[in-house]
Amino acid sequence: MGFVEGLILSFIVGWINSYLYRKYLRRRNKDWIVFLAVIFLSALWTFDSLMYFEILDMKWLNFLPWVDLPSVSTGKYFLWNSFIIFGIDQKINYQPGMEVIASFLFLSYLFWYYLGSKLGKVIHGYRTYQRGQYFIFRPVKKFIKDREKNKENSEVNT
């Protein structure tokens, strides 16, 4: 995947991680959100670094008829031309000095993950008992059933 695809994927995984954290993981251990973030970001950084330094060969993508990776610096070409898998090739060629921009893009994966996680928490709620903003889109009948079920559970416990 290219840099832009990595940014989008970081945002989406941060969003999903915040949902999983609120729904399933917070009750068990509060450190899961950090653990999942470290695992995901380190895997993404490793994979993209291997592509950028051409340790991982991307020439195998040339079997697709719409992909035309050059024989030299295929990993850098693949990263700079996001969405080449989908047939969109901007034809950005690697030039000396682009390492600075690439390093900022690599580091920005962390920011986009954090942004997705925070916006996900706004939508899903920060704590297990919070409903978040998705409550606006939730059907009223389901809310009434949940409220009645919670009321019955509290009466049973007392």
pLDDT confidence of residue 19: 81
Residue 51: the pLDDT is 84
The confidence score (pLDDT) of residue 134 equals: 56
CA 27 to each of CA 15, 23, 31, 33: distance values in angstroms, whole numbers, following the listed order: 18, 8, 11, 12
Long-range CB pairs of 19-23, under 8 A, 24+ apart, other chains included:
19/120, 19/124, 22/121, 22/124, 22/125, 22/126, 22/127, 22/128, 22/130, 22/132, 23/124, 23/128
What is the value of pTM for the model shown? 0.71
SS3 call for 58:
coil
Number of domains in the chain: 1
Domain range holding 116? 3-157
Task: Note down pLDDT in tens along the chain; length 158 residues.
Answer: 678 888 999 999 998 888 887 777 666 666 777 888 899 999 999 988 888 888 887 777 766 777 776 666 677 777 777 777 666 777 777 778 888 988 898 899 999 999 998 888 877 776 555 566 555 555 555 556 666 777 777 776 66
Residue 39 has what pLDDT?
93
Cα angle for residues 134, 35, 2 (degrees, 5° grid): 75
